Structure 1
């Protein structure tokens, strides 16, 4: 075996090793990826949600928060559609009706989103682009130029 052949052999082995490592990393990460969706995307069946952990974002609908001990029920809206959410645990201090919220969990068999985590946002500046655009289309956007309702 000449030096050129040996060098080519090591380069090919190196490329295969890097490719195999990249494939393993991507396979491991695929299980941990959590996608973000609005209520409209979920209810219009644009995404498969069966048994998947997802993030749901939008505004907490006015008058929808019902507390029963440690269990809290509320509805998340993007202006076009509304999705009921149930959460068991302590809510963030910034959580309130009319504010932005991101919940992480799974869709229940009854169509209710079962949140394992609730993240409250203090204004729409930190809301994902898709939800902000949906709120602007429906007239629910409370940006810098509009006072909070």
Structure 2
């Protein structure tokens, strides 16, 4: 059974979303022999798309939330119903021991993802970003020797 984690951009260009979804489906299909577990923090964009595709593929979804206030503070109203649906579909939901969302909480959540994963999929433009974001997560995975598959956006 393969365990695949995701990191990626919260905003995917609508003109690229179909191609990104197809690339993610391909990665998941090649990783699903013997079963599939997908790990996601359920952020809007790449994380949510990945989570939907894991479920579409019949995989097991596990969610790692960075903080106790993540939904209240970080989930935009237009995304709340999708967030709730995906969280409800998860086999496991781990909430990190941080009261408030912060770069520290995101880094800790990403460490949990990387510690459980056999592969990291990064929906990423290859550029540096904010602390605890996609670039940091990719760098941490590579430093730990975890395979990384980049899906360009």
> Larger % of helix: which?
2
Larger radius of gyration: 1
TM-score by length of 2: 0.30
TM-score by length of 1: 0.31
> Larger % of strand: which?
1
